[in-house]
Structure 1
């Protein structure tokens, strides 16, 4: 089959590698220009670089404009394969190939449609995540499913651990999907849209800790925002503090959510919606990074106690 690839960042590159190794003919690679913008600057392995190394025609564009549609039409693809494409694709493009357009989305659809699904899955307390290959339609991540692979979320997994594990699912899922289409054995499963959940793009605000959540929820939040992602943060004595590592306390702690107490070999933060009752565990901060970029032992950094707050105070 003749394939056109739309992709960006490490996910797009891994997908292009799988397409090139599939035995089918990749006739065009469409990708975005490199960007220093927030989440686009991480996991930034280049699709363009790989395509040029392998002699594949490359088209750089921010969006699927008229010139892009014309190039794809002239490439005469049997199928388009998409992974990590940031802008809208019009129906005249995704319905163009004989077999339509496949999109790879790193969640178990219909759950976690939208953006940063792996991070949101860990933050939300999901017990598994995965990769779905589905047919693109008029909504975001809602088309019929062809291939779906899952992985468990372990009690110590970080967001980075899960992203890397999910990326490794790409080659097998691509091979399986293309083989089914090429052989005429593809079985499409409509999504139950009543089960759909949608998560928005992440911004700096989404990395701020809410100490009214339980220590269990907050510990997951810290693990989800592992390097290279923007780290979980709060404010201490007017300065931003990033939380690098933490664990759930042994004892229960009461008082005001956000209060810092040097205990249990670290700095325990009182957590939970009913913090005043003293019925919940606290979060033991073990390593933090100050506003000057220097990392510290939390027990040493918080020797004066005090409060972690939502805003500089």
Structure 2
């Protein structure tokens, strides 16, 4: 899903990915058909992540079609202890925490940019949205 991608980028995870799985009664609990792990080099914007993941899903689709063409799509049971889940971000979750390290703030801003609303802050009691930032080192 895409919300875990936002959280992964905010946390600075070294990888994002895509998974094709069978439908099941429980959300995201079906057997895994195929997965693609994608390395992340920061700075990395959410739009870049979606583009990379879109390409990965295209590859997974082709892989699934190949399995189907051979007569059977095989799935591998998930280890549910390794599963991660993420709640959708509420409006308050877009607010920049200025007490964080500069690189954490940049990742936060990059992860919440378009197609999302952008990270938010307040200036003169007015809400502003921030879509881009660069970490500058002191000399």
Q: TM-score, normalised by structure 2?
A: 0.87
Question: How far off its partner does 1:145 sit?
Answer: 0.5
Structure 2 distance, partners of 1:194, 1:148, is 17
When Rg is computed on C-alpha atoms for both structures, the one with the higher figure is 1
- Runs of at least 5 residues in structure 2 that lack an aligned partner in the other structure: none
Provide the secondary structure at the position in 2 that maps to 1:242: strand
Provide the secondary structure at the position in 2 that maps to 1:139: coil
Task: Give 1:244's match in structure 2, choosing from 128, 131, 135.
Answer: 131
Task: Find the counterpart in structure 2 of residue 192 from structure 1.
Answer: 79
Task: Find the counterpart in structure 2 of residue 219 from structure 1.
Answer: 106
Task: Find the counterpart in structure 2 of residue 201 from structure 1.
Answer: 88
Structure 1 distance, partners of 2:122, 2:24, is 43
Q: Which has the higher helix share?
A: 2
Question: How far off its partner does 1:195 sit?
Answer: 1.5
Structure 2 distance, partners of 1:212, 1:198, is 26
214-223 vs 173-182, greater mean Cα deviation: 173-182
Structure 1 distance, partners of 2:87, 2:109, is 19
Structure 2 distance, partners of 1:142, 1:215, is 37
Question: How far off its partner does 1:119 sit?
Answer: 1.5
Structure 1 distance, partners of 2:79, 2:104, is 28
Question: How far off its partner does 1:123 sit?
Answer: 1.1
Task: Find the counterpart in structure 2 of residue 178 from structure 1.
Answer: 65
- Runs of at least 5 residues in structure 1 that lack an aligned partner in the other structure: 1-105, 107-114, 252-263, 265-313
CA-atom RMSD, angstroms? 1.9
Higher RCO (C-alpha 8 Å, min separation 6): 2
Task: Find the counterpart in structure 1 of residue 116 from structure 2.
Answer: 229
Structure 2 distance, partners of 1:118, 1:189, is 23
Structure 2 distance, partners of 1:217, 1:140, is 30
1:155 aligns with 2:42: yes
Task: Find the counterpart in structure 1 of residue 11 from structure 2.
Answer: 124
Structure 2 distance, partners of 1:119, 1:240, is 22
Aligned residue pair count: 139
Given that 2:19 and 2:57 are in contact with CA atoms closer than 8 Å, whether structure 1 keeps it comes out as no
